[in-house]
Amino acid sequence: MKVGIYCLDCLRENGLPNFRPLVVTVNDERFFEMTCSNGHQTLTIIQEPKHEILFELGMNALADGYPREAVNSFASCMENFYGFCINQVSLYKGVDRAALDAGWKYMAKQSERQLGAFVMLWLNYFGSAPKLLSEASRSFRNRVVHQGYIPRLDETLAFGDDIVACVASNLHDMKHHLDDDLDTIFISEFSARAFSQNQRVTTQSIPTTIGWAGLIQNEKVDLRARLIAIDKDKVTFQWPKF
């Protein structure tokens, strides 16, 4: 998946942004070393948490005609969201980073353990069970991921809609209990990634289908409309093939 990143040094020097984005391939760290058309060398981190990027990978796979791959990325988005909440809410509540890392290693490779931890996190801190995927969605995911089922577009979009509903509902729980501290949680996550580089890093936001700020404000997420927008972006920016 390609994303467009703008050079902030151009903005600092000229007072105007460089309107030609640098097209980069998204990576696991969401960290990019770039040289712009004016010769600035910059290190940029995408602010978006990983679950948003995983969902976007799924949307791009769907736009390219690969529903199986989309389901895989959507499912990873959901699991990654559990991990994001477990880690970030625990840190916010004062759990020591080293202790958290020590505990996380017992869950890191087993998604069912993470799901259990996520449910207990909600019960402990928010006083209710979180919204989880429906039984139909879990069954659909297992058919695709484990049994080689090739899904139709409408089935894949329905699965994506269930994930959007789960992430949005759980974010609303967080917002209800944490209020503006929810912003702090998201900012802390990308700030920690930036500081870990030990060098000058700029951070930048990119639009995503399930951007947390939009979900909190009840912005409607229309996956079919978003697929059309992703296709238009490809033409506008002339994304290279790889």
Residues of the shown chain interacting with Zn ion in the complex, contacts defined by CB under 5 A: 7, 9-10, 36, 38, 40
Contacts of residue 122, defined as CB under 8 A and 6 or more positions apart, other chains included, come to 128, 129, 130, 170, 173
Of 38 and 196, nearer to Zn ion (C-beta) is 38
Q: Which 3 state secondary structure label does DSSP give 219?
A: coil
Nearest distance from residue 199's CB to Zn ion, in Å?
17
Nearest distance from residue 200's CB to Zn ion, in Å?
14
Q: Token pair for residue 130?
A: 């979180």
Of 2 and 20, nearer to Zn ion (C-beta) is 20
Nearest distance from residue 18's CB to Zn ion, in Å?
5
CA distances to 22, 39, 43, 160, 163 from 15, rounded to whole Å, are: 18, 16, 19, 40, 40
Nearest distance from residue 16's CB to Zn ion, in Å?
11
Of 40 and 131, nearer to Zn ion (C-beta) is 40
Contacts of residue 93, defined as CB under 8 A and 6 or more positions apart, other chains included, come to 125
Nearest distance from residue 36's CB to Zn ion, in Å?
3
The helix (H) or strand (E) run that includes residue 24 is strand 22-25
Of 5 and 210, nearer to Zn ion (C-beta) is 5
Nearest distance from residue 45's CB to Zn ion, in Å?
17
- Which region, left, alpha or beta, applies to residue 39 given φ > 0 means left and ψ of -120 to 50 means alpha? left
Of 6 and 159, nearer to Zn ion (C-beta) is 6
Residue 32 forms beta bridges with which residues?
A: 44
End-to-end distance of the chain based on CA atoms, in angstroms? 8
Of 9 and 79, nearer to Zn ion (C-beta) is 9
